[in-house]
């Protein structure tokens, strides 16, 4: 199959698989008694990161672990700059106080830890296990705290009730779609990188990262148009945490260690964009259109620099 066709078909199957998995797993979580806040910050956010997870694992197992690392960093830049910027231009974003005071500082801390690990130039299996354990701890604490605060929600719309067989069927169908789509997507991405003379890190930072971030973009834009602006921020924050801790850790374990070829500018951009989220949400607990435009400009400037300064 031609690489571009493999990339397009793989991306389409990935996106459909993520949609099915999110719908099915969210319904299962609600049936298990989890609150909408927990579902939004964990199940939905992690579900929309499923493409990044399976693509990164596929890349690591194929011996293309640089794609996995580039995908994690590139996806977080997409989440925090591209997606939040687009959403803020559609409608100024306001958010639940829990996201500001608890989730954003945790994301900043996780970013600093992951960046320190990446800056060493190598992610060991032990470090990968540590990152995954950090995600487990975060998820456990989030569930416990949210259950003590049952009145908090990410959004005001009441979730629809789905039958158990349908929820299970959607979850399994989504998982199968993710596995098949990721195989096609990674194969196409690797071949395109070779044809264009790009490094696997570059392809991970750009094409793969943008492609696997489409579920987060779709869910966030739909939520903003419906007035559920806190869903967009909650989804992006939760997804970014899952990328840094779960995906980076799982890829390091699967590859039995990863040599990191990121440049200091890549890691510096990740830190700057993540730190920028804190003062943005502190200005009246919202991200307005001017701030959204600034995030978009920062992202496009970074991508333009990648294309011209390093790979021209």
Calculate the alpha carbon distances from 98 to 11, 72, 76, 106, 116 in Å.
33, 25, 21, 11, 27
The DSSP letter of residue 308 is I
Q: What is the pLDDT of residue 82?
A: 93
Which range, of 20-34, 104-118, 259-273, averages the lowest pLDDT?
Answer: 20-34
d(CA 213, CA 3): 20
Options 1.20.1420.30, 3.30.450.20, 1.25.40.10, 3.40.50.10860; CATH of 3-310? 1.20.1420.30
Do the Cβ atoms of 187 and 53 come closer than 8 Å?
no
Q: Where are the domains of the chain?
A: 3-310
Q: For the segment 156-179, what is each residue's pLDDT rounded down to a tens digit?
A: 444 456 777 887 888 788 878 877
Residue 159 three-state SS: coil
Q: Does pLDDT of 1 surpass 80? A: no
Q: What is the pLDDT of residue 151?
A: 47
- Is the pLDDT higher at 6 or at 133? 133
Which range, of 73-87, 145-159, 160-174, averages the lowest pLDDT?
Answer: 145-159
Q: What is the pLDDT of residue 40?
A: 61
First-to-last alpha carbon distance for the chain, in angstroms, is 28
Q: For the segment 190-228, what is each residue's pLDDT rounded down to a tens digit?
A: 788 778 788 878 888 888 888 878 777 877 887 788 777
d(CA 87, CA 222): 9
As to burial, measured by CB atoms within 10 angstroms (0-12 exposed, 13-18 middle, 19+ buried), residue 195 is: exposed
In this prediction, residue 114 has a pLDDT band, given cuts at 50, 70 and 90, of very high
- When the pLDDT of each residue in the chain is averaged and rounded to a whole number, the result is 81
């Amino acid at each position: 199959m031609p690489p571009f066709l493999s990339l397009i078909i793989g991306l389409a199957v990935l996106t459909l698989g993520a949609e099915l998995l999110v719908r099915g797993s969210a319904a299962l979580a609600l049936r298990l008694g989890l609150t909408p806040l927990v579902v939004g910050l964990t199940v939905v956010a992690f579900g929309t990161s499923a493409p990044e997870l399976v693509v990164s694992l596929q890349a690591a197992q194929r011996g293309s672990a640089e794609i996995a690392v580039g995908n994690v960093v590139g996806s977080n830049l997409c989440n925090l700059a591209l997606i939040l910027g687009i959403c803020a231009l559609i409608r100024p974003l306001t958010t639940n106080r829990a996201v500001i005071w608890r989730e954003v500082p945790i994301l900043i801390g996780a970013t600093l830890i992951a960046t320190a690990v990446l800056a060493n130039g190598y992610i060991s299996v032990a470090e990968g296990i540590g990152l995954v354990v950090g995600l487990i701890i975060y998820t456990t604490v989030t569930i416990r705290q949210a259950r003590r605060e049952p009145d908090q929600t990410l959004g005001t719309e009441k979730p629809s009730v789905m039958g158990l067989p349908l929820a299970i069927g959607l979850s399994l169908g989504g998982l199968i779609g993710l596995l098949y789509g990721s195989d096609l997507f990674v194969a196409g991405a690797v071949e395109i990188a070779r044809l264009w003379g790009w490094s696997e890190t570059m392809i991970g930072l750009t094409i793969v990262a943008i492609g696997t971030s489409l579920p987060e973009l779709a869910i966030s834009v739909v939520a903003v148009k419906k007035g559920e602006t806190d869903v967009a921020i909650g989804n992006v924050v939760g997804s970014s945490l899952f990328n840094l801790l779960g995906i980076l850790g799982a890829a390091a374990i699967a590859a039995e260690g990863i040599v990191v070829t990121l440049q200091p500018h890549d890691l510096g951009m990740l830190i700057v964009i993540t730190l920028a989220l804190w003062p943005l949400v502190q200005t009246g607990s919202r991200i307005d259109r001017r701030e959204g435009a600034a995030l978009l400009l920062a992202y496009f400037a970074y991508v333009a620099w990648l294309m011209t300064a390093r790979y021209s």
